[in-house]
A and B are shown apart, each in its own frame.
Chain A
Amino acid sequence: MLRALTGLLLFQLAGEVLARLLGLAVPGPVVGMALLLAVLALRRGPGAELRGTAQGLLQHLSLLFVPAGTGVLVHAHRVAEDWLPLTVALVLSTAIGLGVTAVVLKLLVAPTADRGDST
């Protein structure tokens, strides 16, 4: 686990450095994810240790959003003041984003979509 965690941090660090060096608008961890994916493709897959650690981290992915979410306290005033545009915009735009993505994808992959559920 220690080795796998160190590896993940090294990729994040590399992503962070690369993003800054090249002046990318993309955050370091996302660049790190792309780098790790490239290495996995070259080495034909992760080892058991890395797979286990990644699974452990991702199993509780929701937990990692809790501290930022609690920041709602700082903006309670603003949220209360603008509740109508915020609520309507968030609810409808989320539904629209989900719907448009799913429908476009369904139309484009219709012939192969049946294979998906059986795997």
Chain B
Amino acid sequence: MNDSVAAIWVYLAESPLLGLTLTLVCYQLACTVHARLGGHPAANPVLLSVAMLAAILLATDTPYPVYFEGAQFVHFLLGPATVALAIPLYAQFGRLRALAGPLLLALVAGSLAAALSAVVLGALLGGDHELLMSLAPKSVTTPIAMGVAEKLGGLPSLTAVLVIATGILGAVGARYVFRCLRIEDDAIRGFAIGLAAHGIGTARAFQVSEQAGAFAALAMGLNGLFTAVALPLLLPWLVRLLGA
């Protein structure tokens, strides 16, 4: 009996089926918990799913690459989902175009504030060069952030984790920041959360309203473009200034 269980485990542990199924099951459990708690942002589905999966992988001694063999099918869909953001963007095209000037200025200010404050704070608290360069692009969507981190001399896979953490923090904490600053317009809230917290923030914004989601998607795309161009130019200069 035990032998056959072990044999089945050996087979399943090697096949992508387990990692993929586990990801979907954990995510749906997380969504159920999220809904039970009245959609409270602190019960973020990404956070809960990652916590569950990490616990399972640790308990079963499964290395991350083995899990990713299966989970990569979910990960792959980030590409087509990014392309699909064009559809909500198009729906808000009129309002977006009317606000083009303010949006671009807010983009430059917010993007630089998020990236540079992360590097300065990290440096003040003793982070080394590799850590700072992994931190810098943490507000932009995973594939761009990883590319930028590599260019800067950071660790791309560490950046991926920091990007997700930033997304969760933004999705969870945005309401408190907006409340303090009395930001009530859905378009402004959406743009800020998409800029600071990329796709996870955008997912959260879509829960609030279609308009918030579209502005978040726009901010995420614009910040990705801007960061990819600006950070490699600006950061070496900042690093020299900080002596990090």
Residue positions of A touching B, CB distance < 8 A = 5, 8-9, 11-12, 15, 25-30, 32-34, 36-37, 40-41, 45-46, 50-51, 53-55, 57-75, 78-79, 82, 84-86, 88-106, 108-109, 112-113, 116-117, 119
Contacts and interface: CB of A to CB of B under 8 A. Distances in A.
A97 to B, nearest CB: 3
A41 B93 CA distance: 9
Indicate the size class of the contact surface on chain B. Answer: 35 or more
B69 to A, nearest CB: 10
Contacts of B82: 12, 29-30, 32-33
Contacts of B86: 11, 33-34, 36-37, 40
B38 interface: no
Interface string B140-168: 01111001100100010110111111110
Given A57-B77, A62-B203, A90-B118, A71 B161 contact: yes
Given A64-B78, A85-B131, A105-B102, A99 B64 contact: no
Interface string B67-97: 1100110110111111111111110010000
B224 A27 contact: yes
Contact of B195 (A41, A55, A75, A97): A97
A97 B181 contact: no
Interface stretch (B4-12, B48-56, B235-243): B48-56
A89 B115 CA distance: 10
Given A53-B84, A98-B193, A25 B229 contact: yes
Contact of B211 (A28, A89, A106, A119): A119
Contacts of A30: 82, 141, 144, 221, 224-225
Contact of B83 (A12, A62, A75, A85): A12
A73 B158 CA distance: 10
B214 to A, nearest CB: 10
Given A68-B164, A88-B121, A108-B105, A28 B79 contact: yes
B30 to A, nearest CB: 9
A27 B177 CA distance: 30
A89 B126 CA distance: 11
Contact of A12 (B27, B57, B79): B79
B81 A69 contact: no
A84 B84 CA distance: 37
Contacts of A12: 79-80, 82-83
A41 B192 contact: no
11 contacts: A5-B80, A25-B148, A36-B86, A37-B89, A61-B199, A67-B68, A68-B163, A70-B53, A97-B192, A97-B196, A109-B188
B197 A117 contact: no
B211 A102 contact: no
